[in-house]
Amino acid sequence: MGATAIRVTEISKEYMIDYSHTNSFKELVMRKLFPGSQNNIKSRKNILALDNLSFEVKKGEVLGIIGKNGAGKSTLLKVLSGITRPTSGKIEIFGRMSSILDIGIGFHPELTGRENIYLSGELNGLNRKEIRKRMGEIIDFSGVEKFIDTPVKYYSSGMFLRLAFSVFTGIDSDILLLDEVMSVGDAEFQLKSSRKLQSMFGQGKTIVLVSHNPTDMVKLCSRVMILEEGRIREEGVPGKVVVDYMEDSIMEVLEASMVKPETKETGSVGTEFKPELKKPKIRNHLHWDDPNTAPGNDFFKLREIQVRNETRTVEEKIYVDEKIIIELKFEKQDITETINIALNINDINGNPLFVASPLLTGD
């Protein structure tokens, strides 16, 4: 894996959005009646989608790219695949490359499924002899053999996606660029396509994978890169990079959702509250000294939450193979009431991991 498959040197991609031309009748009339009213409106805006990126991908390496929407992930793949040119910088590709950025791109609705296989194969650098050799395998994998000689404009969206994905996996390329392709089609085809992709990952191909699924990043990639505002924020071992990305994402969501209520909340136990919190220096330890700002209601006030290893202090790291203790401290506002604390733990995708609900009575 020492030879280079992709070399990117100081590439940038800048887009210009022009606001000076509009189809709005209202704005057209306003410009004619009040010419000076548009002077303060900025007519153009430059957006730097990629900002001086440099990196290499070795032959046989699986590079994962993760980041928020608008970080530049898809733009980077479009630049690498040649769909668009960088504003500046240099890209070197060593080997035959194919990409699946938009499922079905290049398919013509008036052509049959079989004809589109030929068209898509030729667009990806195959000759007709190579396409005929792979035709049976592609059709069989797609599961649309009954309709293969029907124009694809009559296909359902699922059939269209299945055929397009099958064409891509049937192309023998040295370098693959994949953009969010792990959820193609129905559940049955998703499992089938996932197994197909994983088998391709093990054939020594060079793969650049963009996905929002952290599990894919850890399971499939040998290296992961975080893009942020068109720059490389972090890269390295998948486990560490993905954990860092998930932690930052979770904290940003929590901070955005935690706002100080305008009035004191009242009601039954379980009333939703959104306290105002600053990002803690120690992420597994939160506490509220002032009961007036502590989250809660007329029944109780939450004073402290900590997550720690069963044998170490809260300041130390917790590892995935260790037992943990989740400790809550709260004050009962009314000693006559019984409080039931329910703890729900979800993963980053919102899938429940476990629920605990011990009944607490007394003081």
| Phi then psi dihedrals of residue 62, to 5 deg | -110, 105
Contact 197, 169 (CB under 8 A): yes
What is the enclosing helix (H) or strand (E) of 238?
helix 238-257
- Examine the pLDDT at 18 and tell me if it is beyond 90: no
Give the separation between CA 13 and CA 84, rounded to whole angstroms.
9
CA separation for the pair 213, 224 (Å, rounded)? 12
Strands 62-66 and 223-228: parallel
Indicate whether this model's pTM tops 0.85: no
Strand partners, 226: 66, 234
Q: Give 273-286 pLDDT, tens digit per residue.
A: 444 444 444 467 88
User: Domains of the chain by range and CATH?
Assistant: 4-248 (3.40.50.300), 261-360 (no CATH)
In a 13 Å sphere around the CA of 31, the CA atoms on its Cβ side amount to: 14
Strand partners, 304: 287, 329
Separation of alpha carbons 305 and 341, rounded Å: 13
Confidence of residue 1 (pLDDT cuts 50, 70, 90): low
Q: Would you mind telling me the total number of residues written for the chain in this entry?
A: 363
**d(C-alpha 168, C-alpha 150), whole Å:** 20
Q: Would the pLDDT of 261 be above 70? A: no
Query: By percentage, how much of the chain surpasses pLDDT 90?
Result: 21
Give residue-wise pLDDT tens across range 132-146: 998 998 999 888 899
